[in-house]
Amino acid sequence: MPTIVHEQNQSLILIYGDTPDHQIGRILWSQLSGQDVKIEFPQTIQELDEHAPQAVLIVVIIGPGGENADLARRFTTRPDIPAEIMGIDPQSDIPARLRHLASGFDTIFNLEMLTCADFRNILIVKLEKGRVRQKNAFQRDEYRRFRASLAASPDAFIVFDNEKRLFFVSEHYKRFYGPYANRLVRGLPVADAFNLAFEFHGLTPDHPIYALSAAFWLNLEGQIEFPLPDGRIWRCTATPLPDDQGTIITTTDVTDYRAQQKELREKTEELSHALEKEQEASALQKQFIGMVSHEFRTPLTIIDGHAQILQRRADQLDADTIRSRTKTIRSAVSRLVNMMESVLSSSLLTTGTLEPHPEDFDLSDLLHELCDEQAALASAHKISCDTEGLPATVRQDRKMMTLVCTNILANAVKFSKNDPVIAMTARMAGSDIEISIQDNGVGIPEVEIEKIFDRYFRATTASGIPGTGIGLSLVRDLVKLMGGRIHVESALGQGTMMKIIAPDLNGGSAV
């Protein structure tokens, strides 16, 4: 594209339709001495369209047959073109120039007029008008981009000038205030805008939020978060504009953010609590492993020792001695079996996989059988079993009932060495089964009765007596699974009574 002058940041003049030697261009250039301009000569309509928005003056040369006379209307209808549109018809008379003006040109000249002394002044005025239009168009574009940027932001903006009067309200802000938005007009004092917001929310000056918010809004400094009546939480941030031009207030809905923070804190607390429980469980597990290892070692040592004696001296032992040693072996085996059953059931309870399986069975026969087993293993003890008050059959989980009664009976035997009298009584109380087991053993300190069902807890009176500390914990959990409860009475040195209350599922539930 031919160019007479082409420097950066100069006002652009476009000349379209000039002669090959740029006759019109040279005339105009001679009139523009001292002006910071550049002149370009687009060769096609496409080039003219492309550069027209940057020009401050567009000069169209009209040919002898009226060529290019319709271009003025092409540009005057485009809002993105701020330039003055000047037409030059070299040989035109007044009627022709009037026709061209009617076609949309801002001014129209012939060659004779271009050489007049006053044309320079006219040209410079046209140039300045184009520059002003271009500057205004640029500012309008900047403002549109500014508003578009604010509209794209998820936050709401409100701008106050340096006299704390409303200058700008973003669309987000207006949408939030609905019918109140048309009262947020430019020049509104900040105090009035603040009271308008409180009126919208239905709050009065005696509301606690009012004083908290007033300190922020009336000073337009810092940051504040405050809850709204509908449960949302707003964060307002005041940011000074450059050169003391005012303050922009950014309003952000942080409700979800605060909810996520709260949820995160709760999850952190849960994890911390779970970690503490895990650490506690790990410590208890180590303690349990130590106790079980010791408890398993003792009966195994007894079994192994008596088995070795029977093996080495089989020919020398009489029948009574063999019976005595095999009885001891059986007692140790029973002890191991009971411990294994307790550990297994305890593990199942912990993992939540143990569930009751009710069946009809003769509870009286079961209780007598359990008492006979304990009596056979502890011949020095006197164990009585009274089941006169039971029906022929009950409906419950037989295995759970067996584990519960075996554990309590075994404890009664273990903790009543000095006065080995144990009494089991079973009866019906309405639709409930009541089984009481009374011993005359060492008893339990009153302050420890509530703790005896805690896993791994052992009463101080159990010192020196073998045990894992899981038996009664298992008993409590099994009784609960059967839909019942357990009651304990004990006096130090006078023995313990444990009462199991569980429903007969054929007749109702426990009271």
What are the Cα distances from residue 313, in Å, to 301, 319, 329? 18, 12, 16
- Band (8; pLDDT cuts 50, 70, 90): very low
Write down the H helix ranges in 313-360: 319-351
Give the C-alpha separation, 108 to 92, whole Å.
9
Residue range 355-503, CATH number = 3.30.565.10
3-state secondary structure of 84: strand
* Domain over 153-253 is classified CATH 1.10.760.10: no
- E strand residue ranges, 30-173: 37-40, 55-61, 84-88, 107-109, 156-161, 166-169
Report the half-sphere exposure of 119 (CA within 13 A, side-chain side): 19
Domain 3-147 class in CATH: alpha beta
Q: How far from the centroid of its chain's Cα atoms is residue 209's Cα?
A: 27
Say if residue 364's pLDDT is above 90. yes
pLDDT in the model for residue 445: 78
CA distance 353 to 430: 31
Which tens digit of pLDDT belongs to each residue from 216-263?
A: 888 888 888 877 777 788 788 888 988 888 898 888 888 888 788 888
Q: Which residue has the tokens 């169209």?
A: 60
At 313-342, the pLDDT tens digits run: 777 778 877 777 787 777 667 667 766 665
Q: Model pTM?
A: 0.40
Residue 463 has pLDDT above 80, yes or no: no
Ranges of each domain in the chain: 3-147, 153-253, 355-503
Is the model's pLDDT at 133 over the cut of 70? yes
Cα–Cα distance measured from residue 37 to residue 54, given in angstroms and rounded to the nearest whole number = 12
